[in-house]
Amino acid sequence: DAGVTQTPRHEVAEKGQTIILKCEPVSGHNDLFWYRQTKIQGLELLSYFRSKSLMEDGGAFKDRFKAEMLNSSFSTLKIQPTEPKDSAVYLCASSRDGYAEQFFGPGTRLTVL
Amino acid sequence: QQQVRQSPQSLTVWEGETAILNCSYENSAFDYFPWYQQFPGEGPALLISILSVSDKKEDGRFTIFFNKREKKLSLHIADSQPGDSATYFCAASVNYGNEKITFGAGTKLTIKP
């Protein structure tokens, strides 16, 4: 079975740009998660979808971060406008049911200049 | 508030030794504790997990020891190999992963040949 796919693997953006990150979950998984990973803050949850319904929106990330699940096999994370502090690795994960046993993708490394 | 703490931040052991990674938590309601392994350039991968009803879980060379009274757990990696060099994250959740998972900051493990 294919794992979680994320594109692009690397993204460089200028401050103020809009970027869209993409994720394809494991086939048959109902739940999808977006995380941000930095050395300082570690792994932070941005969004959680269950069967395409938004369950968690990541609180502090609401204003410039918007995740969507267009269908059961594709999700996007839009950051608009980007700021240098958004530089991080963005991870997508999926699971059959809930937070247990998440399968993570390889991540997208975002650099905002 | 850091609910899941890991120590040490980094650990170096010789090939063949047992590496011991520690984790402690504050929320007594946590009942599901997964450990994730992350190699550079990849997303975390679920390595082994334990429920609070157990005090030990083994999977090959990997063993979790759990002390509910002290709110501590540890991951033991026996006969450690250079390929085990990675960052290990302890995590915790309530209701067997049906609620938001909290990750520790990670322990970077290096195995010297």
Mean pLDDT of successive 10-residue segments in chain A (113 residues)?
A: 91 97 95 95 93 83 87 94 96 93 97 97
- Residues in chain A with CB shorter than 8 Å from the CB of B39 are none
| Contact between chains at A105 and B41 (C-beta distance less than 8 A) | no
Query: Over 80: is that where the pLDDT of B14 sits?
Result: yes
- Residues in chain B with CB shorter than 8 Å from the CB of A49 are none
Structure tokens at B80: 């450690």
Euclidean distance between CA atoms A11 and A107, whole angstroms = 11
Would you give the DSSP letter of residue A80?
Answer: S
Facing residue for B97 by CB, picked from A43, A100, A105: A100
Facing residue for A106 by CB, picked from B32, B41, B101: B41
Quickly tell me which residue has 């410039």 as its tokens. A64
What is the rounded end-to-end Cα distance, in angstroms, of chain B? Answer: 38
Cα separations (Å) of A110 from A47, A81, B55, B61? 17, 13, 40, 35
Higher pLDDT, B100 or B12: B12
How many CB atoms within 10 Å of residue B110?
A: 14
pLDDT value at position A80? 95
Look at A47-56, B9-18, B27-36, B56-65 and tell me which has the smallest mean pLDDT: A47-56
Query: Over 60: is that where the pLDDT of B77 sits?
Result: yes
Say whether residue A20 is in contact with chain B using an 8 A CB cutoff.
Answer: no
What is the mean predicted confidence (pLDDT) over B99-113? 95
pLDDT value at position B2? 66
Would you give the DSSP letter of residue B11?
Answer: E
pLDDT value at position B95? 83
pLDDT value at position A29? 94
- Mean residue pLDDT of chain B comes to 95
Say whether residue A100 is in contact with chain B using an 8 A CB cutoff.
Answer: yes
